[in-house]
Structure 1
Amino acid sequence: MKTMTLSVLGLVFAQAAHGQALSTQTEGSDWVVQVSPYLWATGIEGRVSPFRRGPTIGVEKDFSDVMEELELGGFLNVWARRDKLVFSGDLMFVNTNDSKAGRLPALPGVPPGLPVSGDVDTKEFMLTLQGGYRFYDTPGLTLDGLAGARYWHVSNELTVKALGQSRTFKESFSWFDPLVGLRAFAPINDRWSVQGQADIGGFGVGSDMTWSVLATVNYVVTDSASISVGYRVLDVDYEDDGHVFDTRMQGPVIGATWRF
């Protein structure tokens, strides 16, 4: 049960590779929209309790551990700007499965300490929406103030096999985190640029606290395409009604951006 929910968390969310080098090239009243599929090669450490009646588990996993359990994953960022107004949407879905054998804690209908085998299927969905205003705009630096929310939904299905019998337990939990943030972008030359973004939120509304920092180096390939590489850290501390999700995820990001 230890690896199951945790691996999903290891591939979570990141607003990676926005291709900001493209967005600064267009001014005026028309919308500029950028679509960025990406990968976040993250590890994870912290503690989680995927089931209300289960124990809180310490976890420390690198990216290779996470990938071993991955069944399906999708990551997409959309960025839009019109003059000084900016909008960002980030979508993540991950499905992992892991099998373990050992002695599980007491669950309904399962005696404590009984030797069992278990399969855990975990699905995690995260959606981040932010809007804001470009309050500083010069050829060498732009600054955007952002505000919005991040929605989390984690679903777990545990199939326990013992004494020739099989039982399935399902449980899910979700929450919203309000966010405020700042994004900075600076061109180096016509092709290269750097970008930094940070946000903080939760404030006891959903999680007790959450924050993230992203830094990327961007390269313009064509007038409508760019690539980005960088590094991201995401920390969240959620605990409610027996569910615990207190983790820090960090690792390199890589993505491609297309502008429309």
Structure 2
Amino acid sequence: MKKILRHSTFASAVSCLAILAPAAQAAEGGGWDWMVAPYGWAASIGTDLRSGEPPSGGVSSDVDFDDIIDKIDGAFQIHVEGQGDHFGVFADFTFLGLADEKDHPRFHSESDLDTRLFEVAAVWSPGEQRHQGIEVFAGLRYIDVDATVQLEPENPLFDTTRIDGGASFSDFMLGVRYTWAISDRWGVTFRGDGSFGDTEGTWNASVVADYKMKHGAWLFGYRYLDVELETRGNRFDITMNGPMVGYGFMF
């Protein structure tokens, strides 16, 4: 049932993009600029677990486990955007598979965290030039998480503790970005946003430089993302930050 609800929410977000784009494009008479940009994000990961109560089995008396996962097992990201004279839309999808094993005082941990992050938003551009100046955007940030943490005590007399957490979260996202056209080929975009709703709050900031080619642009930048999630009495604080690079196909 939970999987059905997750897929339903994700499908609703995709449907919103499919509805918003043609409507906004029709309102401006067509002639939109589109970009599809797969990109890589070499993010440093920090994942803190705060359990509702100490694990059973004599593993530890702590409820806080800092940096329990800090290794990426797999990642995929893609950004799609359409822009008219004053209105636009964008969607962004990120998949991060995190897995790690660590030795702690009195116990060993094996952790696995799969995170799917989907954003869809409408953009308002009050300036006269496309892809320049300040823009405001609002939309949905959807996060789907599957987490498993296994705590194995050093003392064989105690049992292994397993913490499972899987849930989906839908937030209202609001943000602003500013694009500075340095030259005909070079530009830089600063973005900051936050979201609230099902999560305990998410914060995102990035700076991306673009170098325009004949049919696209190289993208280089840095991104920081902080996500706080609570599921089944356990709170996960996930922070990701690092350089990113991609190529935007424009048409």
Structures share fold, TM-score greater than 0.5 = yes
Match of 1:258 in 2: 249
Inter-CA distance 184–146: structure 2 relative to 1 (3 Å threshold) = same
Structure-to-structure mapping, 1:29-178, within 5 angstroms: 29-45=30-46, 47-49=48-50, 55-59=63-67, 66=70, 69-100=71-102, 119-138=110-129, 141-158=132-149, 170-178=164-172
Q: SS at the partner of 1:190? A: coil
Task: Work out the CA distance in 2 between the residues paired with 1:141 and 1:179.
Answer: 22
Task: Work out the CA distance in 2 between the residues paired with 1:122 and 1:100.
Answer: 14
Q: Residue by residue, what CA displacement relative to the aligned partner does 1:74-93 show, whole Å, maximum 9, x if unpaired? A: 11111112332211111111
Q: Residue by residue, what CA displacement relative to the aligned partner does 1:91-145 show, whole Å, maximum 9, x if unpaired? A: 1112233345668xxxxxxxxx7x6x66433211111111121112348943221
Given that residues 49 and 68 in structure 2 are in contact (C-alpha distance below 8 angstroms), is that contact kept between their aligned partners in structure 1?
no
Q: Does 2:183 match 1:192?
A: no
Task: Work out the CA distance in 1 between the residues paired with 2:82 and 2:52.
Answer: 38
Q: CA deviation at 1:49?
A: 4.0
Q: Residue by residue, what CA displacement relative to the aligned partner does 1:30-60 show, whole Å, maximum 9, x if unpaired? A: 2322111112222244632489875431128
Given that residues 29 and 83 in structure 1 are in contact (C-alpha distance below 8 angstroms), is that contact kept between their aligned partners in structure 2?
no
Match of 1:218 in 2: 210
Given that residues 165 and 231 in structure 2 are in contact (C-alpha distance below 8 angstroms), is that contact kept between their aligned partners in structure 1?
no
Q: SS at the partner of 1:135? A: coil
Given that residues 238 and 246 in structure 1 are in contact (C-alpha distance below 8 angstroms), is that contact kept between their aligned partners in structure 2?
yes
Structure 1 gap ranges (5+)? 1-26, 104-112
Inter-CA distance 150–88: structure 2 relative to 1 (3 Å threshold) = same
Match of 2:174 in 1: 180
Scaled by the length of structure 2, the TM-score of the pair is: 0.70
Task: Work out the CA distance in 1 between the residues paired with 2:87 and 2:111.
Answer: 43
Match of 1:207 in 2: 199
Task: Work out the CA distance in 2 between the residues paired with 1:52 and 1:88.
Answer: 41
Count of matched residue positions in the alignment of Structure 1 and Structure 2:
214
Scaled by the length of structure 1, the TM-score of the pair is: 0.68
Task: Work out the CA distance in 1 between the residues paired with 2:246 and 2:139.
Answer: 23
Q: Residue by residue, what CA displacement relative to the aligned partner does 1:177-198 show, whole Å, maximum 9, x if unpaired? A: 2111112112111111111111
Match of 1:106 in 2: none
Inter-CA distance 50–251: structure 2 relative to 1 (3 Å threshold) = farther
For 2:65, the aligned partner's letter is I
Given that residues 83 and 130 in structure 2 are in contact (C-alpha distance below 8 angstroms), is that contact kept between their aligned partners in structure 1?
no
Given that residues 85 and 130 in structure 2 are in contact (C-alpha distance below 8 angstroms), is that contact kept between their aligned partners in structure 1?
no
Q: CA deviation at 1:160?
A: 7.2
Structure 2 gap ranges (5+)? 1-27, 56-62
Greater relative contact order structure (CA < 8 Å, 6+ sep): 1
Match of 2:229 in 1: 238
Given that residues 28 and 82 in structure 1 are in contact (C-alpha distance below 8 angstroms), is that contact kept between their aligned partners in structure 2?
no
Match of 2:5 in 1: none
In percent, how many aligned pairs have the same letter?
23
Task: Work out the CA distance in 2 between the residues paired with 1:200 and 1:101.
Answer: 34
